[in-house]
Amino acid sequence: MDTHADLKPPLTEVCGHLTSVVIGGLPIDIHSADPDFIAMLERRYAGFVATHAHGGIRLDVEVVAAVGDRDDEDLVVRYVDGRWKIERGDFRANWNPVSMRGSVRQGSYPYAIDSVMRIVHSLVLAERGGFLVHSASAVRNRRAFLFSGVSGAGKTTISRLAPPDVTLLTDEISYVCRTGDGYRAFGTPFAGDLDKAGMNISAPIAGLYLLAQGRHNHAELLPSAGAARRLLRNILFFADDSALVERLFRTACEFVLQVPVYELTFQPEAEVWNLIE
Amino acid sequence: MSEKYIKPSRNIASRMLAGEMVVMLVKDSRVFSLNATASAIVNAADGSTPLREIVARRVVDEFEVDAEEAYQDALALVESLAQEGILLLADHPIEQESV
What digits encode the pLDDT tens for the residues A115-158? 999 999 999 999 999 999 999 999 999 999 999 988 888 999 99
Element housing A168 (H / E): strand A167-170
Q: Within this chain, do residues A153 and A113 fall inside the same structural domain, yes or no?
A: no
Contact between residue A19 and residue A41 where contact means Cβ atoms under 8 Å apart = yes
Size of interface A-B (CB pairs under 8 A): 51
Per-residue confidence band for B97, with pLDDT thresholds at 50, 70 and 90: low
Q: Within this chain, do residues A226 and A241 fall inside the same structural domain, yes or no?
A: yes
Q: Structural domain tally of chain A?
A: 2
Asked if B26 and A242 come within 8 Å (Cβ–Cβ), the reply is yes
Q: Give the pLDDT of residue A53.
A: 63
Q: Within this chain, do residues A266 and A151 fall inside the same structural domain, yes or no?
A: yes
Residues of chain A where predicted confidence (pLDDT) is lower than 70: 1-15, 53-55, 72-73
What are the counts of helices (DSSP H) followed by strands (DSSP E) for chain A? 7, 17
Q: Within this chain, do residues A49 and A163 fall inside the same structural domain, yes or no?
A: no
Q: Give the pLDDT of residue A242.
A: 87
Q: Does residue B29 carry a pLDDT above 90? A: no
Q: Within this chain, do residues A181 and A48 fall inside the same structural domain, yes or no?
A: no
Q: Choose from B15, B16, B32 for mutation: most chain A CBs within 10 A.
A: B15
Backbone phi and psi for residue A28, each to the nearest 5 degrees, phi listed first: -115, 115
Q: Give the pLDDT of residue A14.
A: 45
Q: Within this chain, do residues A45 and A139 fall inside the same structural domain, yes or no?
A: no
B36-92: pLDDT as tens digits:
999 999 999 999 999 999 999 999 988 888 999 999 999 999 999 999 999 999 999
Q: What is the pTM of this model?
A: 0.87
Q: How far is CA A217 from CA A56, A103, A264, A270, A276, in A?
A: 44, 47, 7, 10, 11
Q: Within this chain, do residues A203 and A268 fall inside the same structural domain, yes or no?
A: yes
Tell me how close the Cα of A76 comes to any Cα of chain B, in angstroms: 14
Task: Residue A48: give the domain boundaries.
Answer: 4-126
Q: Give the pLDDT of residue A15.
A: 56
Q: Within this chain, do residues A122 and A139 fall inside the same structural domain, yes or no?
A: no
Q: Within this chain, do residues A121 and A243 fall inside the same structural domain, yes or no?
A: no
- Alpha carbon dihedral B41, B45, B50, B53, in 10-degree steps, equals -40
Reduced to 3 states (helix: H, G, I; strand: E, B; else coil), residue A59 is strand
Q: Which of residues 24-83 of B touch A (CB under 8 A)?
A: 24, 26-27, 29, 31-33
A221 interfacial to chain B (CB closer than 8 Å): no
Backbone phi and psi for residue B28, each to the nearest 5 degrees, phi listed first: -125, 5
Domain end call among A126, A160, A186 = A126
Domain end call among A66, A93, A126 = A126
DSSP per-residue letters across A76-91: EEEEETTEEEEEETTE
CATH of the domain at A222: 3.90.228.20
Q: Within this chain, do residues A31 and A135 fall inside the same structural domain, yes or no?
A: no
Q: Give the pLDDT of residue B1.
A: 64
Asked if B18 and A225 come within 8 Å (Cβ–Cβ), the reply is yes
Q: How far is A201 from A196, CA to CA, in rounded Å?
A: 15
Q: Within this chain, do residues A149 and A14 fall inside the same structural domain, yes or no?
A: no
Q: Within this chain, do residues A120 and A163 fall inside the same structural domain, yes or no?
A: no
For the B5-90 domain, the top CATH level (class) is: alpha beta
Asked if B31 and A225 come within 8 Å (Cβ–Cβ), the reply is no
Domain end call among A98, A126, A154 = A126
